[in-house]
Amino acid sequence: MHHSIRALSLPAVLVLAASACSDSSQGPVPLDTPDIDVALASVEPAMIEYHMNVLADDSLEGRAPGTDGYASSAVYAEEQLRALGLQPAGVGGSWRQDVPLRQSTVVEDESSLSVWTPIGTETMTYDIDFYLGADPLRERVEIELAEVVFVGFGVSAPDLGYDDYADADVDGKVVMFLNGAPASFPSNERAYYSSGATKTTEAIARGAIGTMTFWAPDDPRLRWDVNAARSKRGSFAWLDGDGAPNRGNTQVMGSASLNHSAAESLFQGAYVPLADAIAAAQAGTPQSVLLATRVSITTTTAHRDVDSWNVLAKLEGSDPNLRDEYVTYVAHVDHFGVGVEVNGDDVYNGAHDNASGTAIVLEIARAFASLPEPPRRSVLFMIVTAEEWGLLGSDYFVQNPTVAQSNLVANFSLDMPFLFHPLRDIVPYGAEHSTMGASVGQAAEHMGLAIGPDPIPEQVLFIRSDHFSFIRQGIPALFIKSGFETGDDRDGGAMNTAFRQERYHTPFDDMSQDFDFEAGADHARVNFLTGYIIAQEEDRPAWNEGDFFGGLFGGN
């Protein structure tokens, strides 16, 4: 049964949802039906708690790809989906899609970074001043005394009136840039241009041979010790049929992350002080500065191949004309495994990130399976690997789909939706880009949920989970997160900040936290309703006219 209606705060782009959910002559998909009531009631907060307890237990040792813990979590998800009466949607009629991976790890004692100045060379200290990105292609690469160009945020976005490269010559040089993107950009465009992959692609296109990135001292994502500890786990890439990794470029001979101490060393003698360069970037001023220093980087990388897999299940649609099209739900079940010990704990349980999202997808599947008649389109449920390592499981699927890629019409990603207070309002990342915005508007209204804008654009969430793999292939997607309304005197924003600073990507993201499992059930319900609407409508979702992401990727 749906909730009592609360006050709505719908952006203008979503306001028409209740009256015009699609261009179809059928009108809005009805939600006030006994079948929908049964489906919503089937979602159980206690089951979300149970799934999370299983997946975040110490015995699964953090569910890193290639480990017994990951295998156990994937088998558990498969068993749950099978028990709901769903059909396998993996390779060859199985429940699985193998995702071959290569793990690349920096050999720290054979790697280095040094800064040359006219008065001498300064050798930086690994973990304290810098850490390096592993090279997925080669065992050893070197950059020797290369010129360095600071290029602000490293962003070239002429259509948004911003270009750090406008006056820069970086051919054969190393580029150095701040994490993030101009605060003046719209939230999701800011997220896209903050992506390390976007920045590296731009640098490569302009002839750069290496990249160095650093955080402004006041950047909320700067947690040097946590990030350096994570880097010790290495990186992953998926392998194609010829065994070639999906990432890496032979032009790039080194990639470093810098602490503020190393950034200061590189800015020695520069005509613009580092603090002024950071301030200019934060003020939205494009810039490029040829530094007076030079950099040498040596990276030695160890490689090993890792077997992992996605779990895939489907509910076949009821309409013979639409059942070959799929509404898709994805959650990653991987996390960081056993890592650097913090206060005596070295198991990175990943309870919120992302046992919670996996549990919610399992309950969304229960809701669909409980319908007396399936929706017109088919629904595909994916529990994927290696999201924490670059959205690899979902990216592998969309580039090697087990159904026709052109029939993947919409995606929903469930990842750390924020389960620490009742769900009063939602932030549906992606809603303003496609007609999926109208569908989520109707679903939110049915549940009495307000809709608000991104409250933390600096966290660039739009590029940080599996839905973005689908967007990159031109498939509209939604990433529905909780807003900060708590319904009481607690500050939802402060709670979010505390989680990200104290527990996120640490061993303390475990089941000792005060989770609100009813909020988890509400997340399942609003995602179910939105997907049900799309699965019932005659027209598949479409990018909005002139949309940034539709223009960038819609041609795919």
Q: Is 362 in the same domain as 403?
A: yes
CA distance 416 to 504: 10
Q: Which of 334, 373, 370 shows the shortest CA–CA distance to 354?
A: 334
Examine the domain organization and report whether 108 and 207 are in the same domain.
Answer: yes
Question: What six digits make up the tokens of 310?
Answer: 């996605």
Residues 231 and 327 in one domain: no
How distant, in Å, are the alpha carbons of 60, 120, 435, 448, 550 from that of 474?
Answer: 35, 51, 14, 31, 7
Do the bridges between strand 130-132 and strand 255-258 make them parallel or antiparallel, or are there none, so unpaired? antiparallel
Residue 3 lies in a domain: no
CATH number at residue 225: 3.50.30.30
Q: How many domains does the chain have?
A: 2
Dihedral angle over CA of 275, 276, 282, 288, nearest 10: -110
The pLDDT value given to residue 488: 94
Residue 30 DSSP SS3: coil
Q: How far apart are CA 475 and CA 554, in angstroms?
A: 7
Q: How far apart are CA 447 and CA 451, in angstroms?
A: 11
Question: Based on the domain organization, do 469 and 548 belong to the same domain?
Answer: yes
pLDDT given for residue 25 in this prediction: 47
More confident call, 361 vs 226: 361
The sign of the torsion formed by the CA atoms of 517, 363, 68, 137 equals negative
CATH number of the domain bearing residue 522: 3.40.630.10
The confidence score (pLDDT) of residue 82 equals 98
Residue 1 domain flag:
no
Helix (H) / strand (E) element for 36: namely helix 34-42
Report if residue 310 sits inside a domain.
Answer: no
More confident residue, 556 or 94: 94
Q: Is 6 a member of any domain?
A: no
Residues 359 and 439 in one domain: yes
Q: Do 496 and 537 belong together in one domain? A: yes
Share of the chain above pLDDT 90, in %: 88
Are 359 and 450 part of one and the same domain? yes
Q: What is the pTM of this model?
A: 0.91
Domain boundary among 269, 302, 335: 302
pLDDT digits (tens, 9 = 90+) for 327-352: 999 999 999 999 889 999 999 999 99
| Tally of CB atoms within 10 A around 227 | 15
Q: Which of 21-30, 203-212, 317-326, 517-526 comes out lowest in average pLDDT?
A: 21-30
Q: Is 33 exposed, middle or buried (0-12, 13-18, 19+ CB in 10 A)?
A: exposed
Asked whether residue 457 falls in the same domain as residue 329, the answer is yes
pLDDT tens for 152-201 read: 999 999 999 999 999 999 999 999 999 999 999 998 899 999 999 999 99
Domain C-terminal end among 250, 269, 302: 302
Would residue 332 count as lying in a domain?
yes
Domain check: are 252 and 184 in the same one? yes
Residue 99 lies in a domain: no
Residue 356: give the domain boundaries.
12-94+316-553
What is the number of other CB atoms lying within 10 angstroms of the CB of residue 341? 11
Q: Is the pLDDT of residue 88 over 60?
A: yes
pLDDT tens-digit map of 18-30: 333 434 446 899 9
Residue 323 clears pLDDT 50, i.e. is over it: yes
What Å distances lie between residue 122 and 116, 174, 268, 289, 296, CA to CA?
6, 17, 11, 21, 10
Tell me the C-alpha distance between 551 and 540, whole Å.
Answer: 18
